[in-house]
Chains A and B, each alone.
Chain A
């Protein structure tokens, strides 16, 4: 049965909008505030904040919650993902790039997180969700990581130093392999941490969306103490 409503179409547009957990924090900082993947995303911050961060070479925070991501879990997950051509890391707590450019992280033997870098151009998470819906593979289930997690990037040569203030695991490049994933505690909360990029460290922290604002505030406070600050999603180390 279908129930219709006179103003349904307009309402739908508004209701489809996603609101990330850092919306209130980012809105005042954003100079470029764009729609991405259903979210209003802070692509660039006001110049003064950016210059402050750049000049200090300090750790920079970016919110990448708007970027597409998805999870798969279940005893049939690796078989199904492999079957649809997704490159998989050989072991848990490792990540690799898929041919599409997406990042595939293996959190457990049959537990995966897949996310797009590059502003969702390829959107592997979306296409995998569609294929999963039609295939309904046995023993492979979607984990709704788009909504359960927030994604915070932490960039700059001082980023490892910031993490050393918040995490008991050695995440500095010398002690944290390039393809490693740490599932650990950062600032007293659970987080999935990995390090991307060549050159200056650029970490990704995936944290529970309900704790994202707390996490952001802690990171921001420490980053500012170290001379860093907030940047927009497009103002990464290779921007």
Chain B
């Protein structure tokens, strides 16, 4: 175990940790101790561990930057989980943490050699390299991905159960700091249901770690008061540890915690997300030990970790002075406060530091951070006058805290249509609420009211305005406090010709990279972003957008005042896939006979949204099982569960006329008790669905549709009916009826004993006829169909009786050799008859003539949906045709979708193909050119996987029982 430095401060430091609960965990193979409430990063810092990760491109050692849960420096691997934010994830006993993006180990990373090649790897280098010769990218891609990897995905990891929770509120407040709490209380006082979203472990925001002038005690007391008031207000729900990641239209918010994903619908939203402390740019500004001043304050106040022993504070804000005082209080020596500003209005903190003997340098910058041990440790800061005068000085230190200014945390606001612009030549930024959304409000530091008093008053104001806009009160809101000009410096940048002056540490981008992007012609800031990848890393520009904008506009001599930052898009933090996925749910539908199928060896397969039996029992292949079951239908009798068929009742005096318009065929004169094929085309004349219409009364058709198509058919029917306003009512009854296709020469023998009131003899119940009656005493609809080419009936009974009837038929059918039959055999049987399956043998361009179904199109009708398009296409002429084909025995069976060829030209594809025992050939359907469709003609089929070609012969369909005698028995 390496030598450990213990950096814990005594209580009352460490607001979030419980010193009574010691927790042991591992990092990069070594054991460490921390306390309950520690994050991985804080616990490691307490043990003196300064390096958490290696950088994305150059593999430079990186440590804590912001400690706010949103920068790439803190990304680690935790067990199987990559890209865990070490400053947001709490430690747990036995947690196994490792560094990611490391070639070698965290201490010695040979990937750092890339840094020495950096001048050959300018920004956008991969846009120019690796694409020639043609296959080069295939070689380079895995190499580059390994080098720039971000963690390891463990494919065997268990799926986390993350619930998606829908919440509803009158007012959602994003941010639980002073302004947010004040806003929530004000809105709730008017009766609003309020949700407060806060990404911290406790409410308080900057009050938890910041120093408010010298009066820290007053700030802490006010915090306690606010939290008590929130706790006692039943109308306020607080979601702590929940980060709002998206603000969408109609004030719909997405938020996530470690174990939940929230979807929040709020009538009004108050953004109180605060401001983000900004870094400065100078050589080696990414060294471990260089961090934001607020990060050092978080370490001390939240986790009782002393962030260093000797510090330099580089600042352009009052907060930097506060941090220096905090460091002194915690026993850290402060070598100097380096203020970038030429002068600073004297305030109490300035005086206190002066009194404490801390050197304060105005108009100075840190131009370089010095390191030792290969960049692993900070050794000092080189300080020089901002105007370049005088000699640089080196101040030895192991901690360099930076507070160069503030940027509104306006990422969410930007998503909602808000705006943020640079002011005062880029010294500070101002955020604005979305225009046209009266229910989107800003409060607190985000709104330019950063002092405690102003933040509280602004939150109170926003809460009242929200309540008023929601109609919860008619009282005027109290006046908003005055805008407070934020601190900051317009040019916190010292460009170093030697480089390593990082603008974006997430992406390892230096000043030169931004300059190069502009020089390459990418002048718009959003193009600079895309070309350079600046602000596209995990921190999404929180610490890089401002300096990128400054450099890009400076290169073009463009003014900064009024300039906009890059567009922000959701999510503002990476959302784990487990969060997006939620619970594993796949709503697949089951027929009433599902349990029977499972109990009898059915191999189930999805068919649209349904589970259906593919085949039953053991078989060397699905094709052999299908052949076995098809033989049962041809020779004896089979039962096919066709409950999944779509079923729609079309009722009313205009029912027949409605079908005349919806479908291509004729229905007006369809006799009662007869079936008729239905073919639906869309307005472009393309085949959309098919089925059967059974007419049970003048005003009642029972229409079937395909399993996968019925919902769309029903929607189309509703849509057209809304337009046509016919005297028709439509009832979707798919699930209400179980359906069994009883098919085979013994079908009549099996059914007859069960049917009370319907004569099944051929003379009384002919092919393509339907009857209502009773089967086994159950109300039933019987339809004599021929889809599978043998004598048979579809028997439809109320769904909850379906299982009983199926069992009864199976039991009674034993003597007849009955067999259950799955989809595979059904597909083979219908292929033998040449029946198409819509969307398998047709596609998004197929119209009736192509598939030889003009017989089902009553062109002389005054109207049906798709009629005009079909007429137009008929004038244009065919471009392809679906034909039946056969291949000799012994030929390899082509796969469906195999190409059909004439010479070297592709003329179509195979849509269905199988070996049929009954036919004695391999048979199929395929698209070919129209002039190749003559019976007896030949075409080639290209076999998959380089298997060559086979020659197919065009044959007439049906392949089996050409005169349909068997289904008319």
Chain A residues within CB distance 8 Å of chain B: 1-5, 8, 11-12, 14-21, 23-24, 38-39, 73-75, 110, 139, 141, 143-149, 164-165, 167-170, 172, 174-175, 187-189, 208-211, 213-215, 218, 221-222, 225
Contacts and interface: CB of A to CB of B under 8 A. Distances in A.
Interface string B587-629: 1111110110000000000000010000000000000000000
Nearest to A140: B729
B753 A3 contact: yes
A168 B165 CA distance: 8
Nearest to A24: B595
A211 B808 contact: no
B255 to A, nearest CB: 14
B774 to A, nearest CB: 9
A170 B166 contact: yes
Most B CB within 10 A of own CB, among A12, A17, A210: A210
Contact of A211 (B587, B649, B736, B798): B587
Contacts of B595: 23-24
Interface string B188-200: 0000010000000
A73 B798 CA distance: 18
Given A141-B731, A143-B731, A214-B590, 10 more contacts: A1-B757, A2-B757, A21-B800, A74-B652, A141-B651, A147-B799, A187-B585, A209-B592, A210-B589, A210-B734
B798 A15 contact: no
B663 interface: no
Contacts of A218: 583, 585
B735 A208 contact: yes
B929 interface: no
Identify the 7 closest CB pairs spanning chains A and B, nearest first: A148-B736, A210-B589, A15-B776, A18-B800, A144-B736, A147-B799, A12-B777
Interface in B128-172: 161, 163-168
A19 B586 CA distance: 24
B362 interface: no
A3 B756 contact: yes
Contact of A146 (B263, B800, B808): B800
B731 A214 contact: no
B735 A147 contact: yes
A14 B753 contact: no
Nearest to A210: B589
Given A74-B652, A175-B168, A214 B737 contact: no
Contacts of B586: 214
A221 B167 CA distance: 20
Contacts of B591: 210
Interface string B783-818: 000000000000000111101110010000000000
B265 interface: yes
A17 B805 CA distance: 10
28 contacts: A3-B756, A3-B759, A5-B754, A11-B754, A14-B804, A15-B805, A16-B778, A17-B801, A19-B804, A21-B800, A73-B729, A75-B727, A141-B651, A141-B729, A144-B798, A146-B798, A146-B800, A147-B800, A148-B734, A188-B587, A209-B799, A210-B589, A210-B734, A211-B589, A214-B585, A214-B586, A215-B587, A222-B163
Contact of A225 (B161, B800, B801): B161
A12 B731 contact: no
A18 B801 CA distance: 5
Nearest to B755: A3
Given A1-B759, A210-B589, A164 B166 contact: yes
Contact of A15 (B753, B755, B758, B778): B778
Most B CB within 10 A of own CB, among A19, A168, A215, A221: A19
Interface range on chain B: under 10, 10 to 19, 20 to 34, or 35 or more? 35 or more
A209 B804 contact: no
A79 B567 CA distance: 58
Given A73-B731, A148-B733, A1 B764 contact: yes
A16 B729 contact: no
Contacts of A214: 585-590
A143 B193 CA distance: 41
Nearest to B651: A141
Nearest to A214: B587
A146 B799 CA distance: 9
A189 B803 contact: no
B752 interface: yes
B808 A189 contact: no
Contacts of B754: 5, 11
Contacts of A165: 163-166
Nearest to A11: B776
Contacts of A38: 800
Nearest to B589: A210
A41 B263 CA distance: 37
Nearest to B262: A164
Interface in B710-754: 727, 729, 731, 733-737, 752-754
A14 B758 contact: no
Contacts of A15: 776-778, 801, 804-805, 808
B193 to A, nearest CB: 7
Nearest to B588: A214
Nearest to B778: A15
Contacts of B752: 3
B859 to A, nearest CB: 33
Contacts of B776: 11-12, 15
Nearest to B610: A210
Nearest to A38: B800
B163 A174 contact: no
A113 to B, nearest CB: 13
A12 B755 CA distance: 11
Contacts of B610: 210
Contacts of A172: 168
Contact of A20 (B594, B727, B800, B804): B800
Contacts of B801: 15-19, 147
A63 to B, nearest CB: 13
Contacts of A141: 649, 651, 729, 731
A207 to B, nearest CB: 10
Contact of B804 (A17, A164, A169, A210): A17
Contact of A148 (B589, B777, B799, B808): B799
Contact of A75 (B263, B729, B755): B729
